A and B are shown apart, each in its own frame.
Chain A
Amino acid sequence: MAQNIKILPGATVCEDCTLEGDITIGGGTVVHPRVTIIAEGGPIIIAEYCIIEEYSTIIHKKSDKQENPPKPLFIGAHNVFEVGCKLESPFGHIGESNVFECKSYVGVDVKIGSGCVIGAACQLTVPQSLPDNTVIWGSEHHNREALEKQPSQLLQLDFLSKVMPNYHRLRKPNLHKRQPSRPSQEGAKV
């Protein structure tokens, strides 16, 4: 598989993680150690200010009805992938400000809007599309609609990008582009 990993300036990507295929990681995003990102079906583009925690796995699965050239998996800004979550979506688009809680699983053919929360250990395997601000929780997969998007984790991001270089070897940003614009999200100081 062709290794083509683009890390934009401002991103914090630990060396101890598995990155395979054509992957772009946006500025401000923090990738913890032991993360697996595999782009076998097509490129994966991760936007700015995402947090990808330990043992989470993002795979762009190969499928038979692949378009040519393959459609990229685009993951919007401010997404949080908590410890041990797994995302196998070749669907092409994940919105922004979603939270994938610990040990959650999002299978193929699941389309995710913005501001969604996949609760801890929730498994989405059936083809479906989640409208914006859907919250799924519990062993019975209750769901409800939140009124507003989940508050962004900017404080946590600031802290992580400051602390992470002290304890881990980082991959160097290899793409020099214009500085990503500061986000103008409300409730940024939460």
Chain B
Amino acid sequence: MAYLTQPDFVRYVCSCGQLKPITNLYFCRHCLKIRCGFCICHEVDSHYCANCLENMPSSEARLKKNRCSSCFDCPSCFHTLSTRATFAQTRQDPAAGDAKVENKQAKKMYYLSCFNCRWTSRDVGIPDQPVASGGWPERPNPFSARINQLLDYYKAIAQQEKQEKLDRERKKFAIRGKYITLTDKTGLTGAMARNIAGLPSSESSSSAIANFVPSVASAEVEELPEDYHLREINLKQVTTMAQRLASPEWQPASVARLHPVARPLSVKRSQRCRACDHNLTKPEYNPGSIKFKIELLAFYHMPEVKIISHESVKPGQQSALLLKVSNPTSHEMALRLLPPDHQAETETDETTETHEKNEPKSIEKSLEKSLNLEKDTTWSKVIERKPQMPALSQICIPEVTLTLAQRDDAAEYDDDPQHDTSDIILWRKSNKLALRLKVSTDPSAEVGQPAQVALSLQYSYRNTVPPSAQSAQHRDHTLTTTVLLDLGTVCE
């Protein structure tokens, strides 16, 4: 049961061991595994402003510090500011008299206003603008010189380190000449020779590094004014922490110094399976569109389990549990219920196998392109974890294979439930199936503890990926997945 605001009652076990609701999971059709946001690769596709929906290439976004140039956020409540128009009488110079009659015409002037907290750009004395967008005065950063200096310095260091690495690699593979050079013979290194000759050393050749002055901490601070602790403060004039941190360059302490904050850009991101490098999601390029070009959500590929209702779980007793299972695919699905340990065993076998398979591959790859970032398979070991499986409550697993019909949108109009009910099938309706199961709880379960129960589903899955030329993939697979059901707390 996946809701937006309610707790997740049904969670699936991802291939990396995380527990997530089905709406947060992806299904890689190539590895036939569940993936989640934790174990996939996130890539930035494009930058855009969520307010004006303007697309921005990443180089331009970096130049503009990932902020939109035409949209602003309220410095007071961080809501988007809107532009409001007023008709302002252009002020006439008393000396000019009636010389300029056209000037009397009302002129449209614009100011920024927040509809949430009613902050306006007039509150802090920003003059109204004659154009609707852009042209707002930018406040210069008081530390821009220092920041640029630091940026240059770190860029130079990065450059230098890169160069050193290249040199080292070259040295490693450099074929020693036939002849012994003078420096080798005398034990004089190049740096020493340069030092003796009074030449600047090659390492600190960059002027950015040479001219860099590290900042020095000083113990002397400006004294606080005498009345600092005595003065009555008006909290309405003091900015909050969040307001100060929204503009880190100025960190205004007084409300009168708040300045519109340029709106941070959002990104469109595509997600990629780390094991096979296939895309799991890929959004459309247009920022106004919320559709996906590729959308391999678990929601479309795996049987979805929902809790209809359950009796309260009591220690040492059996309680009824009604589940609804639905098949979102367009193929018939055979379903078996298994105890959760079954799944865990098979999975560990599989993972060790794949690790063995993967290793020679990665060595090959690293030989092929040693300088490129080869695929690192160690990540899976790092992030993999075993989920804690509840042991106190168990589902009594019926030994039956159930079939789930394919999804049929037209079936919704035919509201005639099929009556092949049995002792475990409560009802059946197109691609949905309601099951009546029993949960038995250990007598040692403590009252008040969360009652959880795990269940494995073995289901048949037909792969719809067109088979590639080299590998003759078989289309039908039997997959297993484990779900964790939250049944409230153990009652008395």
Are A147 and B122 closer than 8 Å at their CB atoms? yes
**A187 interface residue, CB < 8 Å from B?**
yes
A29 contacts across to B, CB distance below 8 A = none
Q: What per-residue 1/0 map shows which CB atoms of A169-190 lie under 8 Å from chain B?
A: 0000000000000000001011
Nearest CB in chain A: distance from B83 CB, A = 13
| Complex partner residue of B76 from A134, A144, A147, A189, CB under 8 angstroms | A144
Task: Check A137 against B86 for contact (C-beta < 8 Å).
Answer: no
Query: Within 8 Å of chain B (Cβ to Cβ): is A119?
Result: yes
For residues 41 through 71 of chain B, which have their beta carbon under 8 Å from a beta carbon of chain A?
Answer: none
B77 at the interface (CB under 8 A from A): yes
Complex contacts, B118 vs chain A, CB 8 Å? 117, 135, 137, 146, 150
A63 interface residue per 8 A CB criterion: no
Q: Indicate which residue in B77, B86, B123 contacts A146 across the interface (CB closer than 8 Å).
A: B123
Q: Which residues from 133 to 150 on chain A have a C-beta closer than 8 Å to any C-beta of chain B?
A: 134-135, 137-138, 142-148, 150
The reply to whether A135 and B117 contact each other, CB–CB distance below 8 Å, is: yes
- Closest residue of chain A to B258, judged by CB? A144
Q: Please pick, from A137, A150, A190, the residue contacting B77 in the complex, using a CB distance under 8 A.
A: A137
Once the chains bind, are B117 and A145 in contact (CB under 8 Å)? no
Find the B residue at minimum CB distance from A146.
B118
Q: Do B236 and A143 have beta carbons less than 8 Å apart?
A: yes
Cβ of B116 and Cβ of A137 under 8 Å apart? yes
Contact of B179 with A by CB under 8 A: no
Q: Indicate whether B87 reaches chain A with its CB closer than 8 angstroms.
A: yes
Q: B87, B117, B237: which contacts A137 (Cβ < 8 A)? A: B117
Q: Are A138 and B117 interface neighbours, CB within 8 A?
A: yes
**What separation, in Å, do the CA atoms of A133 and B49 have in the docked complex?**
33
Report which residue of B76, B236, B237, B240 has the largest number of chain A beta carbons within 10 angstroms of its beta carbon: B236
The answer to whether B427 has its CB under 8 Å from any CB of chain A is no
Please measure, in the bound complex, the distance between the C-alpha atom of A143 and the C-alpha atom of B237, giving whole angstroms. 10
The number of chain A residues touching the other chain, given as a range, is 10 to 19
Smallest CB separation, B81 vs chain A (Å): 14
Among B87, B116, B117, B123, point to the contact of A147 (Cβ < 8 A).
B123
Q: Flag if A144 contacts B236 (CB, 8 Å).
A: yes
Q: Which of B119, B237, B240 has most A Cβ within 10 Å?
A: B119
Q: Which residues of B contact A138 (CB under 8 A)?
A: 77, 116-117
Are A145 and B236 in contact, with the CB atoms below 8 A?
yes
Smallest beta-carbon distance A147→chain B, Å: 4
Bound complex: CA A187 to CA B113 (Å): 15
Does the CB pair B122–A148 fall under 8 Å?
A: yes
B86 near A119: Cβ-Cβ < 8 Å: no
What's the minimum C-beta distance from A156 to chain B, rounded to whole angstroms? 14
With the chains together, A119 CA to B114 CA distance in Å?
A: 12
A102 to chain B, nearest CB (A): 12
User: How many Å lie between the Cα of A134 and that of B119 in the bound state?
Assistant: 11
Q: How far is the CA of A145 from the CA of B117 in the complex (A)?
A: 10
Check: B487 CB closer than 8 A to any chain A CB.
no
How many angstroms between the C-alpha atoms of A142 and B243 in the bound complex? 12
1/0 per residue, CB under 8 A from A, across B286-321: the answer is 000000000000000000000000000000000000
Instruction: Point out which of A134, A137, A142 has the most chain B C-beta atoms below 10 A from its C-beta.
Output: A137
Judge if B255 is at the interface, Cβ distance under 8 Å: yes
With A and B bound together, what is the CA distance between A117 and B118 in angstroms? 8
Q: Which of B69-95 contact A (CB under 8 A)?
A: 76-77, 86-87
Contact of B117 among A144, A150, A190 (CB under 8 A): A144
Q: Which of A104-161 contact B (CB under 8 A)?
A: 117, 119, 134-135, 137-138, 142-148, 150
Taking a contact as CB atoms under 8 Å apart, the answer to whether B86 and A187 are in contact is yes
CA distance A142 to B77 in the complex (A): 9
In the bound complex, residues from chain A placing their C-beta under 8 Å from that of B86 are 187, 189-190
CB atoms of A144 and B116 under 8 A apart: no
Interface positions, chain B 85-123, Cβ under 8 Å from A, are 86-87, 106, 116-120, 122-123
Bound Cα distance A117, B77 (Å): 15
Using CB atoms, name the residue of chain B closest to A148: B122
* A146 vs B122: C-alpha distance when bound (angstroms): 10
Chain B residues within an 8 Å CB radius of A189 = 86-87, 106
Interface residues of A (CB under 8 A from B): 117, 119, 134-135, 137-138, 142-148, 150, 187, 189-190
Q: What are 12 A-B residue pairs whose CB atoms fall within 8 Å in the complex? A: A117-B118, A135-B118, A137-B77, A137-B118, A138-B117, A142-B77, A142-B240, A144-B76, A144-B117, A144-B255, A145-B237, A146-B119
- 9 tightest Cβ-Cβ pairs between the two chains A and B: A137-B117, A147-B123, A145-B236, A135-B118, A117-B118, A189-B87, A144-B236, A137-B116, A190-B86
Which residues of B come within 8 Å of A, CB atoms?
Answer: 76-77, 86-87, 106, 116-120, 122-123, 236-237, 240, 255
**Other A-B pairs, 10, CB within 8 Å; known A134-B236, A148-B122:** A119-B116, A138-B117, A142-B117, A144-B76, A144-B117, A145-B255, A147-B120, A150-B118, A187-B86, A189-B87
